[in-house]
Structure 1
Amino acid sequence: MEDFDEMLSSLTVQETAGGIRRYRNTVSIVCPACGEPFDDLVVCEDEFNSLELSMPLDLCTTTHDGQVVLFTHKP
């Protein structure tokens, strides 16, 4: 993903804990995987991460610099 750092600079940091960084998409940037605006971007920094979801979400995925990147979409 060529413009990853530029994308991150447009998002709002929501959480940084437990090897996960979560950003809120408040400016309706589109997901590079599906082309629809995403709700949150989650970067998994550790080799193993566990996500506890409080609601059903559609997920799109990619990697950047060896880290898993998740784009969440509320159905």
Structure 2
Amino acid sequence: MDDDEFDELVSSLTPYEEAGGVKTYRNTVSIACPACDDPFDDLVVCRDEYNSLELSKILDLCVTTHDDDVLLFTHQQ
């Protein structure tokens, strides 16, 4: 994902949480996931080399990268 696509995407999302090297955005406007074209629930941006995520729900994930960050698009089942 290039810088323009990332900036446009993030500007359309609602910031939700930030802890350590992980920042979460909510998709409150049903933007399509760039990987599967279905609307996603949250975007999780992992900035550190190693991150640990504690999931409280069963989720499908789509993944891409931007610069050195991993981008996780969550889809609740």
TM-score tier by shorter-chain length is over 0.9
Instruction: Structure 1: state its 5+ residue gaps.
Output: none
Instruction: Structure 2: state its 5+ residue gaps.
Output: none
User: Could you tell me how far 1:18 is from its partner in structure 2?
Assistant: 1.6
- Map 1:4-19 to 2 at 5 A: 4-19=6-21
Residues of 2 paired with 1:37 and 1:31: CA distance? 6
Residues of 2 paired with 1:46 and 1:24: CA distance? 20
Q: How many residues align?
A: 75
Task: Quote the residue 1:60 is aligned against.
Answer: 62
Residues of 1 paired with 2:15 and 2:42: CA distance? 10
TM normalised by structure 2 equals 0.95
Specify which of 69, 72, 75 is matched with residue 70 of structure 1. 72
- Identity %, equivalent residues: 69
Residues of 1 paired with 2:69 and 2:20: CA distance? 14
Task: Quote the residue 1:23 is aligned against.
Answer: 25
Residues of 2 paired with 1:58 and 1:13: CA distance? 21
Residues of 1 paired with 2:71 and 2:57: CA distance? 19
